[in-house]
A and B are shown apart, each in its own frame.
Chain A
């Protein structure tokens, strides 16, 4: 069976140009991950959670078929505009490219900060990601404090799911930083180094590595075009808590004391 991809992120298209062979890494509800020998990731699945820089979207019917036929470790070959598995092909000839959105300067930070106050973050107060923990991390990132590495190791990979909560919060912090720079250059280097270790899921790793280059998924970048509560609520629906975790990271970053 042949399926047609709808939208593909720039990072995914780049990987398809440079790789000839991938493997199925994991298969889950909304799609699956393919991984290269060097650990780069492509997500193939529905656009339920918006568009990702390393994502390729299929319609729900095709996604269901593709994930039914795929098992971890299955070999995938890349042939120009075709992703080929032994039981199906995904063709990219009609694919629309999802390009990174770098229009951070368009953001109305005041309104964003104001509207974020309408989101309920009370569940974090007594969690592993309390106000105090967040303050220490943000201060550490800003001043490159000696404790930063242990603080980052505490956050990275902490929590369950495809993207643990600690990583999602860090994505939010990096987005907040893209809007309003505050992180010390040495802190970026440290984040980069830690994420090269296998201390979180491959999906989180892919998100953070792109976020360090100011590349985010569409549900996040929508915020600098429309900082309304509706846009935030759309981001909130991402994953079971990923969207809210990201918003929490942005909220804390933009409201630093």
Chain B
């Protein structure tokens, strides 16, 4: 099975072609000056050409579904949906934090992917490294860095940190972790479409039809409009 993975959840755009257990090729462009709308398809076209693959030969598409930048997620998902619809192929959405944890999972370690959620918040979830992949231990969360401390208290396990939110962690938290903290090398620190593609393959093995074409990004944060409306409705009571 040949699967094309896409990730535009952060400022990094990446696309990857995975065949079975093998990575055929991957393109990463970490150039925030250009929008995903400008980057994604040219990068994708280059990868296909370089790999000598026709787009019709791709059997399935996997998209990084979030959390992340709302607009970035939608560009990636809209692109994946377009391909899936045009070629009548399955589409699999992969939580961005799952894919990030997959970049660097070490058995026995606590894996903590961190993405900048703006306004002083981090998107995160905690994973336990196992031999066959990371296993998620918490919900997908948007929280201030301080609240992460509680999750780190338990145990002596090393804590593997990755993602563009590491800088928001703060010195105090890093000092508290001390020797336990391990910041993943830059090459594996950012979201990668290859991880998205591998996890997409696993998901499609379970559910060969993939996700419905109406699938939405994993926003994690509600839009402010929805929050305001809920508050207003709660105040006014049931209609």
Q: Do A and B assemble together?
A: no
Which residues of A come within 8 Å of B, CB atoms?
Answer: none
Partner-A contacts on B (CB < 8 A)? none
